[in-house]
Chains A and B, each alone.
Chain A
């Protein structure tokens, strides 16, 4: 079995974000970067599947981004990836999800992956589109927002998180792509010896020019901090309606009333 895990390196979410000079992305100057949280679930699930199958599957890790991205790639390799592909692209942030997905699909097409894991979304852009579009471009089955995963004899049973706290179960035959949500698993800490050994694993380097990526469909017009609001959301009106609205918000936005 050939497994592909797509990961992205994103800023530490505790960082202070400022728009960059072009006002189309955030200023990366002072930020610390780490692996996108949802992608850690993807890597972990891939490694767990490899362990379940006695180490037979080969896990390839793919990431698009500038030189610093190698650190996130090495983490994925230290967690149990076998080899990696780094698509070196300093202008990755100017590309929309369609372009990013088309670059990944262009690489994956010739490789014959049986199973592709991605995060549910990136923590910085948060489009939640890349995984789905890759599946569509490759013409393979896809299930999103996984909170449960099992594999048996060529079939994936995917437990999905739906809106409003409802769960759904989908069965997919390989080849397939799944996107991973918080709660799917607890990503392992890479051990120190494995961090050091990851140095010796292959990281192939590609440029966007070597892949047949598509032209962009959307362009970022502007990025700006939200206007400062005072004191959060204030519910007004008749008390019964206020209670209903509060219940609705707690159900939709939090885990309090699930």
Chain B
């Protein structure tokens, strides 16, 4: 047992922290309030140039080959400064990893370097539909082979980065007669393909700079070789890849929770009521103690899941545990942080209300807390049957 980052992981953490503090953090309030899309994209480009879009991707495709633990600590540092940027980075990494895992050599060489280098601002992961959220196997988008091309019809919702993604990983039903989940395949669809329509952008509670859109496929024709992986094997792929994404989102939530508690704790050392700093009150101290304890536990769960994935061992249960605990701990930490600032915590003059809004989605997207519990229980029960 050796609970210490390697020198390389520490340097990546330091680079992420320095960049996030000096470049991302000053812009984050503006991105939240009024938006600055060009500046948001410019920062994504800079992060790509530093190697943050393919942390766990091989060098031959433009990745950093830094591993899953480095990915986790980098996500946490980026999210401390700007959750919108962090979620985009997390999804980009996930798109690169899924292409690396199952793409053909040609697909890997074509798309991964474009995301890693920033030539594409983003990649998108198009799985969810109106009737298929926690139950993605219930999707109805179809892909029908017609001569030398696949024709896609249907629609997706809640697609991160859709307006500026260069490529979409899209799941669609390819065998309607197959048992549920057995007739779904995975495709790569380029931005600008005729019939691919970027629909309305959601107005969300938080993470405003990160676009979340509807996606419509209206007789969208893509080449036959846009199929990724084996035919009708797409659902298994999606389930496997979501595990890695969960480490990303858990790490992101941890960053928001730490940012909120760091701010509130500093504040509690300055704010005076009843003639003393509010940090001198036990009521405040318990919030500080509980939140930092939970965030530290979250960090250790995330490190454990990341270590398992990096070591090539099964990690689905650990990733779900880490995601469940980290996102809920971060939500509690943000709730405590707002409470510690009192009325000020509810105003836009202080950043904690933004943290509280940004963190809310983390226990929902990339699999809700409820779904994480289903996965964890299923994995545990396997050992008892």
B146 within 8 A of partner (CB): no
Using CB atoms, name the residue of chain A closest to B65.
A196
- Expressed in whole angstroms, the Cα–Cα distance for A178 and B49 within the complex equals 31
Is B39 among interface residues, defined by CB-CB distance under 8 A? no
Contacting residues of chain B (6-28) with chain A, CB-CB under 8 angstroms: 7-8, 10-12, 14-15, 18-19
**Would B50 and A71 count as touching, CB distance under 8 A?**
no
Q: Are A78 and B11 in contact (CB under 8 A)?
A: yes
* Given A70-B7, A71-B7: A192 and B14 interface contact (C-beta under 8 Å): no
The verdict on B227 contacting chain A, using a C-beta distance below 8 Å, is: no
Taking CB atoms and an 8 Å cut-off, the chain A residues in 174-188 that contact chain B are: none
Mask, A156-188, CB within 8 Å of B = 1, is 000000000000000000000000000000000
Choose one: B7, B12, B18; the contact of A192 (CB below 8 Å).
B12
- Which residue from B8, B18, B50, B52 sits with its C-beta under 8 Å from A196? B8
The one of B14, B63, B64 in contact with A34, judged by C-beta atoms closer than 8 angstroms, is: B14
Interface majority SS (helix, strand, loop, mixed), chain B: helix
Query: Out of A34, A71, A193, which one reaches B65, CB within 8 Å?
Result: A193
Is B252's beta carbon under 8 Å from chain A?
Answer: no
Does B59 contact A199, Cβ atoms closer than 8 Å?
Answer: no
Nearest CB of chain B from residue A61's CB, rounded to whole Å = 14
B99 within 8 A of A: no
Q: Is the CB of B59 within 8 A of A71?
A: no
Residues of B within 8 A of A191 (CB): 49-51, 64
B55 touches A (CB below 8 Å): yes
Of residues 213 through 251 on chain A, the ones whose CB sits less than 8 Å from some CB of chain B are none
Q: In chain B, residues 54-107, which have Cβ atoms closer than 8 Å to a Cβ of chain A?
A: 55, 59, 63-66, 70
B65: which A residues are within 8 A, CB to CB? Answer: 193, 196
Known pairs A70-B7, A71-B7, A71-B10; A192 contacts B59 (CB<8 A): no
Cβ B49 vs Cβ A192 within 8 A = no
Q: Which residues of A contact B49 (CB under 8 A)?
A: 191
* Contact in complex: B15, A192 (CB < 8 Å): yes
Name the A residues within 8 Å of B63 (CB-CB). 193
Residue in A70, A71, A195 whose beta carbon sits within 8 Å of that of B15 in the complex:
A195
Beta-carbon contacts under 8 Å, A116-149 to B: none
Cα-based distance from A34 to B14 in the complex (angstroms):
9
- Is B19 within 8 A of A192, CB to CB? no
Provide the residues of chain A in CB contact with B14, threshold 8 Å.
34, 75
CB pairs A–B below 8 angstroms (8 shown)? A70-B7, A75-B11, A189-B15, A190-B11, A190-B15, A193-B63, A193-B65, A196-B65
Residues on A close to B: CB < 8 A?
34, 70-71, 74-75, 78, 189-196, 198-199
New A-B pairs, 20, CB < 8 Å, besides A189-B18, A193-B59, A195-B66: A34-B14, A74-B11, A75-B14, A78-B11, A189-B19, A189-B50, A190-B15, A191-B50, A191-B64, A192-B50, A192-B52, A192-B55, A192-B66, A193-B51, A193-B65, A195-B12, A195-B15, A196-B64, A196-B65, A199-B8
Which B residues are within 8 Å of any A CB, using their own CB? 7-8, 10-12, 14-15, 18-19, 49-52, 55, 59, 63-66, 70
